[in-house]
Structure 1
């Protein structure tokens, strides 16, 4: 989350606490097993995700708000299932972890007592409970998965052999460029002037001027701040005219101006690595990680179904929250 979004969340959170400080008791909107979900918890959950949905001046339609509300309620319900499981298995969260997780909400307060004085004991307790349940659900997941995920070396090797075509890497390039942007609405005379400027820059680069400096002081692309460096890219990753030019070049070569929908590019090709089959030792770690993730997802889906069968959900409360 960016700095500005963190500020926005802090502002929204502050007003949320003030509103609930007036109405200390928040209605229960759903219950899973022995775990109740309050409207206050749902509001906290929504305010946490809202900065990711809108900017400072963004607006959310009523339909979109209803979707966000339901999505966050569903998340709280899934979390409540795990909290029930954690309680049944006598799992607890260390106080130090809770205190660490509470720090973002303590900004502006010198102590817990000062915060309680500002928002009220009930609001503070509800906030801490919301934080605690989130941590408890995480710990329950870790406990459930412990020792269940097991991917053998043989499985990894078999997956590589059966999916070799997926590990064929196309030709890769390293290049830098200078972009002379052309407005789509520009007339022919303006285009000719910009093309002449691009030709001049290409000639200066070929004459030995430092490409980094030429890009930094002349390019209309944000990559100018790194000398026009485009990093590594592969075939099929750039616009066709740009790629066609790069394919014909040799490392160290500087192109004539290349026209794309963005404008004129002066390209300096740095390196080429031909297409090749990736070796098993290069892909082993990624394959293992992917297979472990698949196991993890399957286990969590099975667990979620088991939890839904074991702990009853009061659907009347859910409907009332919509």
Structure 2
């Protein structure tokens, strides 16, 4: 059956005009990516990454912050592309999510997060620039993604004893506990030199009074006085109120000059005075724990859990790669 060519032409022109309006509206926002026939806008990416950016701004600044934000936005865009691929695959397979499922999920959220007050939830959404219908759509998409992952990525993954043993051998350092010492410390700050060079005596620099005080404390310790009591009286370092009791420490928790001495001592042994840039340390090692490798029997369950997560991640990536291969994806 034929149609009126002029009418068809006018209808086609009208569709082009409508399309032009849509593209113009999108261009104001900016197109971040296209996934088949779906446009992902920059505002969607910004909304996705906004909480991460707030955290980054608390920890970084300058060029480093710019680089971290670029990485976060790219990661967010990739996540949105993956989400769109999954949703489109769900629709292509002809699945549907009944409305009552979304309503049940919404009621549960209102009950657990808003003390059953629907109005409070709506006001919270409005404060974040979102309508209830948009929120329901987001809920629906979350349910779709959960359902499709459950369908395509098996939750039960079998890990063989051989895989566990190989992982253990290849990551043995991960299961090695560093040596530790039960440590007591006294710290004496260096004396402040005179600000005016004219006040400084000529000739060789006199001994630092702080060093002399540290040496006197060491002598008193060697003659049997109580370490904790002297630490409470004289220490200017950490754990003064606890008598200098640092508890069990590893090498990486101490500055190198102190660690080198401390980890060469035997249980019950005192160090000599340890000079550093800012003062003088006296250490006593109460006890020592040598490096220890956790046996496989103790860590087997943790390794199995790690391997299951890795295997499920591989299976998910394999599934997503199939979806990517069948899709038109363009990032801008």
| TM-score, normalised relative to structure 1 | 0.63
Partner residue in 1 for 2:120: 111
Mapped to 2, the partners of 1:219 and 1:135 lie a distance apart of 58
| DSSP-derived class of the 1:149 partner | coil
- The alignment partner of 1:177 has SS state of strand
What residue number does 2:179 align with? Answer: 171
Residue 248 of structure 2 corresponds to residue 231 of structure 1: yes
In structure 2, the CA distance between the partners of 1:75 and 1:197, relative to structure 1 (3 Å rule), is: farther
1:149 matched to which residue of 2?
A: 157
Give the secondary-structure state (helix, strand or coil) at the position aligned to 2:208. Answer: helix
Distance 1:252 1:123 in 2: 68
| In 2: Cα distance, 1:59 partner to 1:97 partner | 44
Aligned equivalents of 2:305 and 2:172: distance in 1?
A: 17
Counterpart residue number, 1:214: 232
Q: Among 104, 109, 117, which residue is 1:99 paired with?
A: 109
Q: Distance in 1 between matches of 2:308 and 2:293?
A: 23
Aligned residues: 286
- Match of 1:54, SS state, is helix
Shift of the 277–81 alpha-carbon distance from structure 1 to 2, 3 Å rule, reads same
Contact 2:190/2:211 (8 A) holds in 1? no
1:256 maps to 272
Structure 2, gaps ≥5 residues long: 1-27, 196-203
Report the CA distance between 1:50 and its aligned residue. Answer: 1.0
C-alpha separation in 2, matches of 1:48 and 1:296? 27
> Which residue in 1 is equivalent to 2:287?
271
Structure 1: runs of 5 or more not aligned: 1-24
2:300 equivalent to 1:290: no
The separation in 2 between residues aligned to 1:225 and 1:32, in whole angstroms, is 63
Q: How many Å apart are 1:81 and its aligned residue?
A: 2.8
Query: Following the alignment from structure 2 to structure 1, what is the Cα–Cα distance between the partners of residues 312 and 285?
Result: 43
Q: What does 1:69-108 align with in structure 2 at a 5 Å threshold?
A: 69-85=73-89, 88=93, 95-96=105-106, 99=109
Task: Single out whichever of 239-248 and 154-163 deviates more from structure 2.
Answer: 154-163
Residue 47 of structure 1 deviates from its aligned partner by: 1.4
TM-score under structure 2 length normalisation:
0.62
Q: CA RMSD in A?
A: 4.8
Q: Indicate how the Cα distance of structure 1 residues 284 and 56 shifts in structure 2: closer, same or farther if over 3 A, else same.
A: closer
Q: Deviations over 1:195-223 (max 9, x none)?
A: 334445556666115369739x84444x6
Over residues 21-72 of structure 1, what are the superposed CA-to-partner deviations in whole Å (9 max), with x where a residue is unaligned?
A: xxxx967643435765344322212311112221299556896455543333
Which of 37, 40, 48 pairs up with 2:40?
37
| Distance in 2 between residues matched to 1:186 and 1:230, nearest whole Å | 37
